Amino acid sequence: MRTRGKITEVFSSVQGEGLYFGEEQIFVRFFGCNLKCKFCDTHLDRFTEYEPEELLQELKLYKNGHATVSFTGGEPLLQKYFLKAILKLTRKEGYKNYLETNGILHSALEDVIDDVDIVAMDLKLPSSTGLKDFWHHHHRFLKVASKKETFLKMVICQDTNEEDLKEGLRLIKEVNKFLILVLQPNSYEEYEPMIEKLERFKDIARDNHITACVIPQLHKKIGLK
Ligand code: SF4
């Protein structure tokens, strides 16, 4: 199927979140998202249309020193046909495919998982996002994602409550207790007042036999894109 993708930007930078923070990656930011998290810092107000092959040619301009392409958004899985096509091309070129996702569109993930190498999956806590809960979707999504290298991320805000954390830990234990959970403080809120909460959340994770680490958004701290 011939398909065009709506892409907001393509750029090279340092991965600023999660377990791969510090790695130089090429970022492909997909246009459009199915959520509206209250802490969202991503502005998707324009896009350029690409054929998969056109996008690959643009990525090749960055080839030196980049092992990994990060497919981010918005939510890349909203454009699953285009995503599938570009994942196949990048993999053939020898790149590692890193998918950043809000962890909800499990059927779309099933269609592309074979060509994904790393899944960076959000667990959207209702007390953080200001939205409804997505536990059922997250559960199904995580089962599919776990076929590949996966880690989880929770954005922790001053409003985030312990019940949501515990529900997330339950879910991780049910699907795969060996997955690492990243607790990421909301970068729009002051860090100092949240230190105690982050430490407490880490302890609760440990008591539930889940490895959790606190990793703030590095790129914002050092002034990178
Ligand atoms: S899922 Fe990500 S891109 Fe979409 S609204 Fe939430 S934070 Fe923003």
| CA 104 to ligand 1 centroid distance, Å | 11
Give the H or E element holding residue 81: helix 80-93
Contact yes or no for 183/203 (Cβ under 8 A) = no
5-14 and 24-30 strand pairing? antiparallel
- Whether 171 contacts 139, CB under 8 Å: yes
- Cα(112) to ligand 1 centroid in Å equals 20
Query: Mind listing the pLDDT tens digit for each residue in 10-43?
Result: 999 999 999 999 999 999 999 999 999 999 989 8
Protein residue whose Cα sits closest to atom 7 of ligand 1: 40
Residue range of the domain that includes 15? 5-221
Q: How confident is the model at residue 1 (pLDDT cuts 50, 70, 90)?
A: low
Of 75-79, 162-166, 217-221, the poorest mean pLDDT is in: 217-221
Tell me the residue type at 103: G
Contacts of 20 (CB under 8 A, 6+ apart): 68, 98, 118, 120
Instruction: Kindly state the average pLDDT of the residues 38-56.
Output: 95
Residue range 162-167: average pLDDT? 98
Single-letter residue type at 51: E
Across the range 128-151, mean pLDDT stands at 98
> What is the mean pLDDT of the segment spanning 169-174?
98
Burial state string for 13-35 with b = 16 or more CB within 10 A and e = fewer than 16: ebbbbbbbeebebbbbbbbebee
pTM of the entire structure? 0.95
Instruction: List pLDDT tens digits, range 181-219.
Output: 999 999 888 888 899 999 999 999 999 999 999 999 876
* Cα dihedral value 225, 16, 134, 83, nearest 10: 70
Q: Ligand 1 pocket test: pick from 33, 43, 78, 131 the residue with the most ligand atoms within 8 Å of its Cβ.
A: 33
Output the CA 42–ligand 1 centroid distance in Å. 7
Query: Which CATH number is 210's domain given?
Result: 3.20.20.70
**Total domains present in the chain:** 1
Q: Which atom of ligand 1 is nearest to the CA of 34?
A: 4
33 Cα–ligand 1 center, Å = 6
Distance from residue 74's CA to the centre of ligand 1 (Å): 6
In this structure, which residue's CA is closest to atom 6 in ligand 1?
Answer: 37
Give the atom of ligand 1 at the shortest distance from the alpha carbon of 74.
3
List pocket residues of ligand 1, CB cut-off 6 Å: 33, 35-37, 40, 42, 73-75, 102
**Contact, 119 vs 139, CB < 8 A?**
no
